[in-house]
Structure 1
Amino acid sequence: MPTEFREYDKDDIRTQYAALCYRVVRDKTQVLLITSRGTKRWIVPKGWPMAKKAPHEAALQEAKEEGGVIGRASAKPLGTYSYMKVLSNGDEVPCIGLLFPVRVRLLRAEYPEARERKRKWFSLKKAAKKVDEPELARMIRDFDPRQLR
């Protein structure tokens, strides 16, 4: 965890940058979900702000590390969602995820967290049912890459 977060009260709300990784196959949009390291729930890649990276660049970096994604992130977020994050010390902290669309060009076979996570493509409807956060599920269900232009 970044040093600046260690000094905050555990009830402070933190921000993470998240990637909605997608592709279009035969006019159908698919979303790439990954499993969390701890609980193995289906989630989108996300992480803490990074020095010298814009929020959408940080989201893309997390998608690369956590899912092997090579692609392009839009600088305009789709929206926000809330969740509780379990830290390595066991504390739960409230977080807001800022979700950026990432068009996937390629998935690498080898990537930093390949041995720690699974990844899988889902239809929008199925992906929305797999994630636990209602606000994230709504953004996935309503996602239309044609509206990004």
Structure 2
Amino acid sequence: MFKQSGVVPYRFQQGRLELLLITSSKRKRWGIPKGWIEPWMSAAESAAKEAREEAGVLGKVQLPAIGFYEHRKLGVPCRVEVFLMRVDTVLETWDEADRRQREWVSLAKAMKRVKQTELQQLLQRMHRLDERYTLMA
């Protein structure tokens, strides 16, 4: 099984949790930034690189990973290790801006847009983050 890493970019706007979803480059399905892990990078470093290239966002990837999900890419099985990243900077231009859409959405909307069941289950874990933030605010 091939290894990939991905990131769930998030921020709080006016006290509300928002997640950044992006479309796939070809099929235009909603998902998260993810990609192959470069041999010289950790999974977390690779996830941050994908967030910059695919979604145009910068921030600190949080350890440990929140989990993983499996999918097929180019006909091969892949396991995606998924991290959270609180976004510090949203770039106006980025590497894949011409091939992807990005949109900040609520957790509920993100869970409806994402079609992969395992990724939806990982997003459910964001409820805990939202609840902790609300208690702190």
Give the equivalent residue in structure 2 for 1:131: 114
1:44-63 map, 5 Å: 44-63=32-51
Mapped pair 1:66 → 2:66: no
The one-letter amino acid of 1:39's match is R
Tell me the CA shift for residue 51 of structure 1: 2.9
Question: CA contact under 8 A between 1:19 and 1:63: conserved in structure 2?
Answer: yes
Give the equivalent residue in structure 2 for 1:10: none
Of 6, 17, 41, the residue aligned with 2:29 is: 41
Identity %: 37
Cα deviation digits, residues 12-45 of structure 1 (max 9, x gap): x211100010001233211100000110000100
Mapped pair 1:116 → 2:88: no
Bigger mean CA offset, 114-123 vs 20-29: 20-29
Cα deviation digits, residues 67-111 of structure 1 (max 9, x gap): 1011110121000111122x2xxxx11111110001101110111
SS of corresponding position for 2:63:
coil
Bigger fraction of residues in strand: 2
Mapped pair 1:25 → 2:8: no
TM-score (norm 1): 0.82
Larger radius of gyration: 1
TM-score (norm 2): 0.89
Tell me the CA shift for residue 138 of structure 1: 1.4
Bigger fraction of residues in helix: 2
RMSD of the alignment, in Å? 1.4
Question: CA contact under 8 A between 1:82 and 1:133: conserved in structure 2?
Answer: no
Looking at structure 2, the residues matched to 133 and 15 of structure 1 have their Cα atoms a distance apart, in angstroms, of 17
The one-letter amino acid of 1:67's match is A
